[in-house]
Amino acid sequence: MKKRLIWNLLSLFIIVLLMIELAVSIDITLSKNVYSPLETLQAEITGNFVTLSNANINIYEHGVPRAVPVISGLTKQNDTYYYYATLPNKQGNYTFVIENTQYLSQGEEKSDPLVVNFAITKNNSTLSSLSVIPGFIVANDDFSIKITSPFKDQNIVATLEATNQSKIIRLIESDEKTIDFSIADLNSGRTNIRLGGYVIPVFVFKEIIQPISQKIVFSPNIISATVTPGQKYFFKIFIENYGDANLTNIKLTSDINAVIDPEIMDLERGERKIINISIPIPDKVSSNMTGKITVNYLDKTEDLYVLFNITQNQSQVNLNGTTITSDLSCTGKGKICVYPELCTTETTNSLEGPCCLGDCIEKAAPPDYGWIFGIILLLLLAVLTFFLVKRTKQRQKLKSSEEMLEDKSSRFNERMNPKEKPSEEVNGKLGRI
C-alpha cells in the first residue's frame, strides 16, 4: 500500500512537472543529470525572454539560498542561449535556477523561477571527468581552451569537427593545460570541439559586420481597444532594438496626451524593454479616437498607432488583454521572493513578477515521519514472526505412543462410564474408539 502511494505521488509529481514545462514554453537542457565535482556544467536554453543575462542564472546547493558558480558564461546564438559553469567540489543535490527575469509564455509575461534539478556525486565515471573553460567559444580570431583533469592522469583526444583535426593531450591530475586552435581553415558559423565525451560549441565570425541598419519595433504593433469617456487606461508594450547597433537617447512622445514611462531609454542590439503607457479619454469625446506613440532615434522615427472605439456602455469595454489596472511595480508595495523563499501572505501581479505583500521566508522542510513508519513496520514483523514460530512449534510437537494409548484409554472410560445419564445404553463397537 505504501509503495503504491509513493508511486502515485511520484507519477502525479512528474505529470505536474510536464504540465508546467508545457505551460511555460521554456526549454532548459543540461548536458547531464549527474555531474562530478569540479566538472563543467553546460546548458542550452530556448524561449522568448524579455531579458536574460548571466546574473539571472544561479546554481543553488539543495536548501542553501546562495549562488555557487565562480566561473560561468552565457551567450545567445540563433535564438538559443548557451551557458556553462564550473561546479563546486562538493557532492549533493543542486538546482539550476533562472530567476529575476521576464519571459513570454502563451502570450503572457511571466517571471516565475525556472528550475532544473541535478546532482553532484563521485562514481566510477568521476575519474574521466573534465573541467573545460570556457564551455563555449565565440571567436573572430584564433582561440584557446583550458582543460583540467581533477581526479587522475589521463589522455584526452581533442577534435575540431570542421577540419577533423585531432590532438592528443596528456593531462596530469589537477594540472591545467591550454589547447590552441586556429580559425584560418574555418568558415563562419557553428562547429564543435569534442573532448572525450564533451562537446564544446564553437561560433566563428570571421568578418566583423559594421552596423548597416537601425530598426525599432513595438509588440503589439498597435493599441486597439473599446473604451468609455472620462476614464484613464493603462497599457504595457514591448519595445525592441532589431537593428545592428546599440542605440542611445531613444525618446518617446505622443499626440494624445499619453503619459509614457520611461520617456527616454537606451537599447542594446537585440535588447527588449517594457514601456508603460497611460492614456486618458476625454469626458466629452463621442466619436472614435485615434493617435500615435512616436519613438525618435538617430534620424529615424517609428509609430505605434492607437485606435479607440468609444462606447457609453461599460459592459462593451474591451482592452484586448493589454491593460494593467494596478501599480506596475512591486517597489514600495511589497517584495519579490527569491527561490526557494515563499510568501507568507497573498501576492499580486507586478512587472517584476509575483509581488509578496508580506514577508519572504525560506520554505521549511516537511517533517520526517519515516522513522515512525520504520518502528511500526518492525513491530508488525516481530508479532508476525512470533505467531509463525509458535504455530510451527505446535504443528511439529507429536504425541508419543504412551500418550496416544493413554488418550484412547481415557476416552474409552469416559464413554463406558459417563458422568451424566448413567441409565443410558452405550452403543457402538469398541474398535471405533
Confidence of residue 128 (pLDDT cuts 50, 70, 90): confident
**Residue 334's Cα: distance from chain center in Å?**
24
Residue pair 95/62 in contact (Cβ under 8 Å)? The answer is yes
Q: In this model, does residue 278 exceed pLDDT 60?
A: yes
Higher pLDDT, 132 or 336: 132
How large is the average pLDDT for residues 32-42?
91
266-288 burial, b if ≥16 CB within 10 A, otherwise e?
ebeeeebbbbbbebebeeeeeee
Query: What is the enclosing helix (H) or strand (E) of 382?
Result: helix 370-396
| C-alpha cell recorded at residue 395 | 504443528
Confidence of residue 118 (pLDDT cuts 50, 70, 90): very high
Q: Is 196 left (phi over 0), alpha (psi -120 to 50) or beta?
A: left
Confidence of residue 379 (pLDDT cuts 50, 70, 90): confident
Mean model confidence pLDDT for the chain:
78
pLDDT in tens, 141-150: 899 999 998 8
84-114 burial, b if ≥16 CB within 10 A, otherwise e?
bbbbbeeeeebbbbbbbbbbbeeeebbbebb
170 beta partners: 155
pLDDT in tens, 299-339: 888 888 888 888 888 778 877 655 433 445 566 677 877 76
Q: In this model, does residue 376 exceed pLDDT 70?
A: yes
Higher pLDDT, 371 or 21: 371
Q: By C-alpha distance, which of 282, 321, 286, 288 is closest to 306?
A: 288
Residue pair 158/169 in contact (Cβ under 8 Å)? The answer is yes
Residue pair 171/147 in contact (Cβ under 8 Å)? The answer is yes
- Cell 452405550 belongs to which residue? 426
pLDDT in tens, 250-260: 899 998 888 99
State the pTM of this model: 0.47
What pLDDT, on a 0 to 100 scale, did the predictor assign at position 16?
42
Higher pLDDT, 145 or 377: 145
Cis peptide before 367 (omega within 30 of 0): no
Domains and CATH numbers, the chain: 27-208 (2.60.40.1930), 216-316 (2.60.40.10), 335-388 (no CATH)
Q: For residue 282, report the phi and psi dihedrals to the nearest 5 degrees.
A: -60, 150
